Structure 1
Amino acid sequence: MPIPPASPSLPRSLLRDDVYRRLRDAIVDGTFEPGEQLKDGDLAAWLGVSRTPVREALLRLSSSGLVVAQPGRSTTVSLIDETSLRDARDVVAALHELAVRETVGRLTPDDIARMRAANRRFTAAAERGDVTAALEADDDLHAVPVAALGNAAVETVLEQFGPIVRRAERLRFGSDAPAAAERHERFIALCEMGDAAAAAAMAYETWHTLPVTATKRAD
């Protein structure tokens, strides 16, 4: 779709990370569609910043596979490629499995409470058809063990490849939501019981419920 006609200008002191996140989120939520050309001048005007942080953000998005940059020609939103999606999904699943295996047994009651609260928000958002809120709640739930792990390398890799998985997941979100909420509750219960092996296995399997073939785009 075209660049939105209006958007609240971001503060002039905006850090490059903020520009990156705004563009990343616009790709993940479908504001910018697969195959759409992105012009740094238009994006800079939309965000109310100079072209420099936009160009830096586009380079980062290229390294994560969300855009395809052709030097001297154009930058476009990448198509949802089956192989790239499978690779990203497998990495994300493995790192969440690691985080759960290493932290179950030392998650606090507050951690468990945050996970349950996130699942309640997930369920409510899914019931009203708010995909964005549902996926944000899902992110919050799975972020608890990652935060407890405190491994900066794991967080960096998830920051890079997680959006690829979420982008595809938005396309298939819907009928699976009730089953996902039930899986969340079973997963939280395992974490609360301190069953690290079972919880880690379930974390890995949860990310593999995303069927890569069903989300491949032909455009």
Structure 2
Amino acid sequence: MAEVKLLGSWRSAFSLRVEMALKLKGVEYEYVEEDLSNKSPLLLQSNPVHKKIPVLLHNGKPIPESLVILEYIDETWENGPPILPKNPYDRAMARFWAKFLDETCFPAFMKAYVSAGEEQVKAKEEVEKFLKFLDDELKGKKFFGGDSIGFVDIAGNVLAYWFVIISELVGIELITKDKFPNLCAWIEEYLNSSFVKQHMPDREKLTESLRARFQKTSTAK
């Protein structure tokens, strides 16, 4: 078994978080693409609680959950730039914003995408409220981490890439320059970073995958 192995999926923003962190730190690893419709025994054994990717295997020991894995990578490999801030307060706030993205923002986005009528109107209003918090947090900053890409930026790749594509597919524009100028500037800066450009999945391929998923959701309504 390779010293470092990642069980992931090319279409998963959460899997990509881990790949970006490993590459940022210069860690050599073996990537294993999982078929999520037919999960491997290794995945089920490595993450028996949630049975989800990503899972990082380090010397045979499994670490699940993307944000947990990012912290593990940052603490385990000192080479490369830090992912989390060194200052304890800044570190705590980075954890706060990453958790806010995963547990508050992303579910609200998905609700807005799949709902209809009055329910969708309310869902969009909730999303905009959350986006305003992020926009304010980015005021005067290039990235969430300051001048360089860090923990919250990597966590936010869902927002910068996946949700932009989904918004186009379902015809709902949620992140606009007039309402959220700082957030839009961050998305542009982030996606145009040479490091990020190297690792984002092919846009056309991802769009087709997401289109198939959201067509199924629409048909199921």
TM-score range, shorter chain: under 0.3
What is the TM-score with the length of structure 2 in the denominator? 0.26
What is the TM-score with the length of structure 1 in the denominator? 0.27
